[in-house]
Amino acid sequence: MRSAAARRALRNPSDLADAALVPRERLAALNEVAARYAVAITPAVARLIDPPDPHDPVARQFVPDPRELHVEPQESGDPIGDEAHSPVEGIVHRYPDRVLLKLVNACAAYCRFCFRRETVGPGQGALKPKALDGALDYIRAHPDIWEVILTGGDPLLISPRRLKDAVRRLAAIPHVKVIRVHTRVPVVAPERVTAALVLALRMEKAAFVVLHANHPRELTKQVRAACARFIDAGIPMLSQSVLLRGVNDDAETLGQLLRTLVECRIKPYYLHHADLAPGTAHFRTTIAEGQALMRSLHGRLSGLCQPAYVLDIPGGHGKSPIGPCYLSDDGATVEDFNGKRHAYAAGSRAANTTAVSNS
């Protein structure tokens, strides 16, 4: 039953039960969740899940959970304030030199902690041609826009032909110098990363692909091969991960994820503190826990493996790095990776430091 079901995406709790990913007795509760938030588990994701493991880190990210129906007062349907910064359909303009362009509001697989879960789902479709024209007109009319970030949903879900058309039109705008693609497709549907898709992103201007990956088990041989297709074509890759309780909130798992990414020639870029999306409290750590994790990686892992730990400020005020900070408030001491503090002689030409204490 499981192998038959795993040849296509599983799109409702009955599919999940047929594939032995959830017990049938949980169907009623899971149907309630599926009526509220999109469900899709691709064959690549289904193969990663170990159903007997009640703490499976991949299942936790993709299999619906009744706790998603519990909404905390501080949670919001638009946790990072996209709406307030959307001047025309498809565009989010939050920072002076860059915009998001949402080409499609669907994904190959739906993350249970998704920060756009109120707007992303099957049937939301791609940006209509007229809306895309309007979004491109907006970018053309704003010469400060240096970078366009293709996002969604997942922009690599549209056909290579449509992607190529959008990329070519963006690249033709003189002030747009960089196009960045945020995607989970290489992890959840690596077979979609075809030669035609890679070719769609090849151009004279700089293109970057940013992979969303949260657990080292996601970086299978097929996923690595899909990423290598971009990188070998001259398209550099970065990664973004979401800090998720029960998935990657321990130093060993997170460290292994970050090292494996670098081994795949993917530079870890962001570690996101989980957003206040509705029904996601069971995924969120505290910021203090996130800072302690980052501290534990500092010095133990190469600088190449270190992402910035960031919080998207609720209300649409943008991302800010949230530490930890190794410099004391007065700038007089700085902490090394062993937790030892050193005096810092600010203002001197050569920075002299002296160990002051162990803390």
- Tell me which residues are annotated as active site: 94-95, 98, 107, 111, 114, 116, 275, 312, 319
Rounded to whole angstroms, how far apart are CA atoms 236 and 196?
Answer: 17
From the CA atom positions of the chain, what is the Rg in Å? 21
Q: Confirm or reject binding of residue 110 to ligand SF4 (CB under 6 A).
A: yes
| CA-closest candidate to residue 75, choices 275, 244, 273, 276 | 276
If the CB atoms of residues 153 and 279 are measured against ligand SF4, the closer one turns out to be: 153
| CA-closest candidate to residue 306, choices 285, 323, 287 | 323
Considering only residues 118 through 177, tell me which ones interact with ligand SF4, judged by CB under 6 A. 120, 152-154
Rounded to whole angstroms, how far apart are CA atoms 82 and 300?
Answer: 36
**CA 198-202-207 angle, 5° bins:** 100
Which positions from 198 to 237 touch ligand SF4 by CB under 6 A, shown as an x/- string? Answer: --------------x-------------------------
Written as one string, the DSSP assignment of 326-355 is -B-TTSSEEE-TTSEEEEE-TT-SS--EEE
Residue 33 belongs to what H/E stretch? helix 27-36
- 257, 248 contact by CB (below 8 A): yes
If the CB atoms of residues 118 and 147 are measured against ligand SF4, the closer one turns out to be: 118
Q: State the nearest-atom distance from the C-beta of 259 to ligand SF4, in Å.
A: 23
Of 94, 116, 295, 341, the one binding ligand SF4 by CB under 6 A: 116
If the CB atoms of residues 19 and 120 are measured against ligand SF4, the closer one turns out to be: 120
- 101, 91 contact by CB (below 8 A): yes
- 331, 344 contact by CB (below 8 A): yes
- 253, 215 contact by CB (below 8 A): yes
Q: State the nearest-atom distance from the C-beta of 347 to ligand SF4, in Å.
A: 46
Of 33, 59, 111, 200, the one binding ligand SF4 by CB under 6 A: 111
Q: Confirm or reject binding of residue 305 to ligand SF4 (CB under 6 A).
A: no
- 344, 338 contact by CB (below 8 A): no
If the CB atoms of residues 123 and 174 are measured against ligand SF4, the closer one turns out to be: 123
- 145, 174 contact by CB (below 8 A): no
Of 164, 180, 184, 295, the one binding ligand SF4 by CB under 6 A: 184
Please identify, among the stretches 107-115, 199-207, 266-274, 331-339, the one whose residues bind ligand SF4 according to the rule CB under 6 A: 107-115
The tokens for 53 are: 């493991």
Q: Confirm or reject binding of residue 114 to ligand SF4 (CB under 6 A).
A: yes
Q: State the nearest-atom distance from the C-beta of 275 to ligand SF4, in Å.
A: 9
The tokens for 151 are: 């996002």
If the CB atoms of residues 61 and 333 are measured against ligand SF4, the closer one turns out to be: 61
Please identify, among the stretches 114-122, 197-205, 319-327, 328-336, the one whose residues bind ligand SF4 according to the rule CB under 6 A: 114-122
Of 104, 107, 158, 276, the one binding ligand SF4 by CB under 6 A: 107
Q: Which residues bind ligand SF4 (CB under 6 A)?
A: 107, 110-111, 114, 116, 120, 152-154, 184, 212
